[in-house]
Amino acid sequence: MDDITRLLINGVNLFFSVLRWMLLIHVLLSWVPTNPHGGIKRFFRAMTEPMLTPIRRLLQKSPLGGPGMMIDFSALFAFLMLHFLNNIIIRLISSVTSALAVAS
């Protein structure tokens, strides 16, 4: 594996790792009874809600959801989706760089 491929893979892994940590911190902060409009809580909500809102909408339409949904599973599905996206992008980078190495 050449340096550019390793750099790309490390960058993608870092990006998804930061997203997963932000999501985890958002979930943990949601369990703490503090001011929901406070600085740190507001920051993590602003960073993670763009991922969670579409998942919540899909879950509400599914048999898992509905108006009486007591547990929010959106973070769990977001973790799974981030994991799969990370793996797909890493495989794409590896296969493209391998194909380019063979072609040259």
Domain locations along the chain: 3-64+71-103
Predicted confidence (pLDDT) per residue in 22-70, tens digit: 999 999 988 888 776 778 888 999 999 999 999 988 888 877 666 666 7
Check residues 88 and 61 and name the one with the higher pLDDT: 88
- Across 4-8, 29-33, 85-89, the highest mean pLDDT is recorded for 85-89
Can you state the angle between helices 74-103 and 3-30, rounded to 10 degrees? 180
Q: Is the pLDDT of residue 3 over 70?
A: yes
What does pTM read for this prediction? 0.82
DSSP state of 38: S
**Signed CA dihedral, 10, 13, 42, 28: sign only:** negative
- CA dist 20 and 7 (Å) reads 20
